[in-house]
Chain A
């Protein structure tokens, strides 16, 4: 293809518009930086990536659990180990995410045009709660049975029991292993891309860009 054709189609093709927008907002040096501002050298800034690391552990161990099934992870020693990796990965995921949330809240991380970064973080937090809840429902033990039968009364009381039924293990299983991880993964990628685009929020006393 000649470059003439390229330039003619750039303004109208959706692919060209998307490419131009991407290059304008998130050039490759911002997408994959090799330096960060000096204020990022603090332990409070590592909890975001720790949360993503725990999320990786959850995804990998969850894939193994879904392929092998409950008969394996309730009985064999290796299955119990992978089940524990999944469970404790979730505990660490929430601990890291809450510390990350506290850090960002107290430095007002929505400053400087970062409101969408903050908002995607909140949505990721809410989606994580739903994912964890559906996970507790499919432990296939007495604990999950108790949680499901307590929760169904709550869901019925607010009128959504017809659409979301905690005792329907097929529905909950699919929501937990397919829908919510996909939603959470997409939101997380979006969140990280926004961090790359807008940069890490500076401390309050070091912010040259003012607040809103």
Chain B
């Protein structure tokens, strides 16, 4: 904080700060992990008492 950010210059018109790039990569990683990782006890419960399909 309170210091200039470090930037990555991909081309003359495309640049991004390292901090922003890290945040974007973390979000993509979280999204991917959330989709691929099995949720505990999610396989055969079948508790379809939803009440949300009204």
A residues with CB within 8 A of B: 29-30, 33, 35-38, 41-44, 46-47, 91, 95, 98-99, 102-103, 112, 141-143, 198-200, 202, 208-209
**In the complex, residue of chain B having the shortest beta-carbon distance to the beta carbon of A196:** B52
Question: In the assembly, what is the distance between CA of A200 and CA of B50, in Å?
Answer: 9
Given the known inter-chain contacts A42-B39, A43-B39, A200-B52, please indicate yes or no for A99 contacting B45, CB distance below 8 A: no
Q: What interface size band does chain B fall in?
A: 20 to 34
Interface residues in B1-54 (C-beta closer than 8 Å to A): 1-2, 23, 26-27, 30-31, 33-35, 37, 39, 41-42, 45-54
Given the known inter-chain contacts A35-B49, A37-B50, A199-B52, please indicate yes or no for A99 contacting B31, CB distance below 8 A: yes
Question: When the two chains form their complex, are residues B34 and A37 in contact, meaning their CB atoms are under 8 A apart?
Answer: no
Q: Which of the listed residues A43, A47, A200, A209 has the most CB atoms from chain B within 10 Å of its own CB?
A: A43
Identify which of A37, A43, A91, A95 contacts B52 (C-beta below 8 A).
Answer: A37
Question: When the two chains form their complex, are residues A37 and B48 in contact, meaning their CB atoms are under 8 A apart?
Answer: yes
Instruction: Identify whether the interface residues of B are mostly helix, strand, loop, or mixed.
Output: loop
Question: In the assembly, what is the distance between CA of A200 and CA of B48, in Å?
Answer: 12
Question: When the two chains form their complex, are residues B52 and A102 in contact, meaning their CB atoms are under 8 A apart?
Answer: no
The number of A-B residue pairs with CB atoms under 8 Å apart is 67
Question: In the assembly, what is the distance between CA of A200 and CA of B42, in Å?
Answer: 16
Given the known inter-chain contacts A95-B23, A98-B27, A143-B1, please indicate yes or no for A43 contacting B33, CB distance below 8 A: yes
Question: When the two chains form their complex, are residues B47 and A38 in contact, meaning their CB atoms are under 8 A apart?
Answer: yes
For A33, list chain B residues within 8 Å (CB): 51
For B45, list chain A residues within 8 Å (CB): 38, 41
8 more CB-based (< 8 A) A-B contacts, given A38-B42, A102-B31:
A35-B50, A42-B35, A43-B34, A44-B35, A47-B34, A95-B27, A198-B52, A202-B53
Question: In the assembly, what is the distance between CA of A98 and CA of B52, in Å?
Answer: 25
Q: Which of the listed residues A33, A47, A99 has the most CB atoms from chain B within 10 Å of its own CB?
A: A99
For B23, list chain A residues within 8 Å (CB): 91, 95
Question: When the two chains form their complex, are residues B30 and A199 in contact, meaning their CB atoms are under 8 A apart?
Answer: no
**In the complex, residue of chain A having the shortest beta-carbon distance to the beta carbon of B36:** A43
Question: When the two chains form their complex, are residues A199 and B51 in contact, meaning their CB atoms are under 8 A apart?
Answer: yes
